[in-house]
């Protein structure tokens, strides 16, 4: 082992001895636990504030993703993809989750907001995947001049 590492160990040990002597050997354990308690309280407060901010973000996402889902479903229906059932089902569940408490004058619970967010998120992801999926292969035995896309009227 190199001498500078041994010297550094001795230097840290002497500094620790001086620190313990200044604080008081009998109080060092109590001060260490007090410091750990302060760190725990700070981390707990941080997580509490993150939880509040997360629920606010989730509520905003639920409201913001609903129009995204509706537009994606309408685009999918315009392209001839199956989306009408999803549009009706997601809209119905979204409205029931968020409008039912308001009708009775209650505050919308976090569980309802979470459910609404998850429903709209799943619908938006499903519509996105449906719109970005590769087109079905056109049969090789199709008549000449026929394309997989409908022709505009002439």
Would 124 be classed as within a structural domain?
Answer: yes
The rounded distance, in Å, linking the Cα atoms of 97 and 63 is 12
* Higher pLDDT among residues 89 and 5, named by residue: 89
Overall domain count for the chain:
1
Band of pLDDT at residue 4, cut at 50, 70 and 90: confident
Would 144 be classed as within a structural domain?
Answer: no
Would 154 be classed as within a structural domain?
Answer: no
* Higher pLDDT among residues 106 and 16, named by residue: 16
> Structure tokens of 78?
């315009």
Quote the pLDDT of residue 116.
Answer: 94
> Structure tokens of 153?
């009227």
Of the candidate ranges 66-75, 101-110, 121-130, 133-142, the one whose mean pLDDT is the lowest: 133-142
> Exposure of 113 by Cβ count < 10 A (0-12 exposed, 13-18 middle, 19+ buried)?
buried
pLDDT digits (tens, 9 = 90+) for 43-88: 999 888 887 788 888 889 999 999 999 999 999 999 888 899 999 9
Band of pLDDT at residue 152, cut at 50, 70 and 90: low
Q: Taking the CA atoms of the chain, what radius of gyration do you get in angstroms?
A: 31
Of the candidate ranges 79-88, 90-99, 100-109, the one whose mean pLDDT is the lowest: 100-109
Quote the pLDDT of residue 149.
Answer: 64
Range of the domain at 71: 3-132
The rounded distance, in Å, linking the Cα atoms of 8 and 21 is 20
Would 140 be classed as within a structural domain?
Answer: no
For the beta carbon of residue 103, count every other beta carbon within 10 angstroms.
7
pLDDT digits (tens, 9 = 90+) for 18-48: 888 887 777 777 877 888 899 999 999 988 8
Would 86 be classed as within a structural domain?
Answer: yes
Average pLDDT of the chain to the nearest whole number: 85
């Amino acid at each position: 082992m190199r001498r500078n590492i041994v010297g550094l160990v001795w230097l840290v040990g002497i500094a620790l001895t001086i620190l313990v002597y200044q604080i008081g050997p009998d109080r060092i354990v109590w001060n260490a636990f007090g410091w750990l308690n302060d760190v725990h309280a700070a981390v707990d407060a941080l997580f509490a504030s993150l939880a509040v901010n997360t629920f606010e973000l989730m509520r905003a996402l639920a409201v913001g993703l609903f129009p995204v889902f509706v537009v994606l479903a309408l685009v999918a229906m315009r392209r001839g993809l199956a989306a009408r059932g999803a549009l009706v089902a997601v809209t119905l569940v979204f409205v029931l989750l968020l409008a039912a408490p308001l009708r009775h004058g209650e505050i919308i619970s976090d569980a309802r907001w979470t459910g609404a967010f998850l429903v709209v998120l799943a619908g938006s992801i499903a519509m996105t995947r449906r719109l970005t999926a590769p087109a079905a292969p056109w049969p090789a035995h199709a008549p000449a001049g026929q394309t997989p896309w409908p022709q505009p009227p002439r």
